[in-house]
């Protein structure tokens, strides 16, 4: 599957956005303040964003919840329904642009769109490409029991199981090794 630079940027943004949500009532929200939202925008180099407000923060949190539904979708039809809702609500207006030194690429948000609509349109379309290509199963959650972070499996054989093999994957492999050693020692 060919993934363009702008699609990859949108995928990274949507994964990071979904992963800002707290896992439970005790965890901190990664988008607790407008300043945190502004940092998210800076980190992902989201273009055409004006002054952010509490309204933007609330709207982006709502969109984040909808994107989480896509990663939890049981099948392509369920994922497509959520993506269609997000894209329609954003009022997509595809247009070619070559801003900030990047080659020509497509923005799906309308000029002057809110940050939530911008993310809904661009990130929604990035996820839509996976559904269209029959690759919806690549939109996953980490299989580590204590981690449910979202990620996009871009491995050649669709075999990635953990959000990060150095943390979650390694931790589970070490635990399994220790359990086997303990059982063998008897």
Rg (CA), the chain: 18
Mean pLDDT of the residues in the chain? 90
Average pLDDT over residues 153-177: 78
With a cut of 80, say whether residue 120 has pLDDT above it.
Answer: yes
pLDDT, position 33: 97
Calpha distance 36→31 (Å, rounded): 5
SS3 of residue 152 by DSSP = strand
Confidence tier at 184 by pLDDT (50, 70, 90): confident
As given in the structure block, the two tokens for residue 53 are 């407000």
Beta bridge partners of residue 150, listed in sequence order: 141
pLDDT, position 176: 65
List C-alpha distances in Å: 147 to 22, 121, 140, 161, 162. Answer: 11, 28, 12, 11, 9
As given in the structure block, the two tokens for residue 139 are 């939109």
Confidence tier at 175 by pLDDT (50, 70, 90): low
Nearest to 139, CA basis, from 16, 15, 6, 10: 15
Burial of 14 (0-12, 13-18, 19+ CB in 10 A): buried
pLDDT digits (tens, 9 = 90+) for 1-55: 778 888 999 999 999 999 999 987 888 999 999 999 999 999 999 988 989 999 9
With a cut of 90, say whether residue 165 has pLDDT above it.
Answer: no
With a cut of 80, say whether residue 131 has pLDDT above it.
Answer: yes
For tokens 């499996």, the residue is 153
Confidence tier at 112 by pLDDT (50, 70, 90): confident
With a cut of 90, say whether residue 180 has pLDDT above it.
Answer: no
Calpha distance 114→141 (Å, rounded): 28
Q: What's 110's DSSP letter?
A: P
Q: State the distance between the two ends of the chain, measured CA to CA, in whole angstroms.
A: 48
**DSSP per residue over 62-90, as a string?**
HHHHHHHHHHH-SSHHHHHHHHHHHHHHH
Calpha distance 67→73 (Å, rounded): 10
As given in the structure block, the two tokens for residue 106 are 């497509």
pLDDT digits (tens, 9 = 90+) for 69-104: 999 999 999 999 999 999 999 988 888 988 878 888
């Amino acid at each position: 599957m060919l993934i363009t630079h702008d699609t990859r940027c949108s995928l990274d943004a949507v994964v990071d956005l979904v992963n800002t949500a707290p896992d439970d009532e005790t965890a901190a929200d990664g988008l607790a303040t407008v300043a945190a939202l502004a940092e998210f925008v800076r980190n992902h180099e989201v273009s055409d964003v004006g002054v952010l407000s509490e309204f933007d923060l609330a709207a982006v949190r709502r969109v984040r919840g909808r994107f989480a539904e896509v990663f939890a979708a049981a099948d392509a039809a369920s994922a497509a329904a959520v993506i269609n809702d997000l894209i329609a609500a954003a009022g997509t207006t595809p247009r070619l642009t070559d801003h900030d030194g990047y080659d020509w690429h497509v923005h799906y948000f309308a000029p002057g769109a809110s940050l939530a609509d911008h993310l809904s349109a661009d990130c929604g379309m990035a996820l839509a490409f996976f559904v269209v290509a029959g690759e919806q199963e690549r939109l996953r959650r980490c299989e580590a029991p204590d981690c449910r972070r979202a990620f996009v499996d871009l491995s050649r054989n669709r075999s990635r199981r953990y959000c990060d093999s150095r943390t979650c994957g390694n931790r589970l492999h070490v635990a399994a090794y220790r359990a086997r050693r303990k059982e063998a020692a008897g």
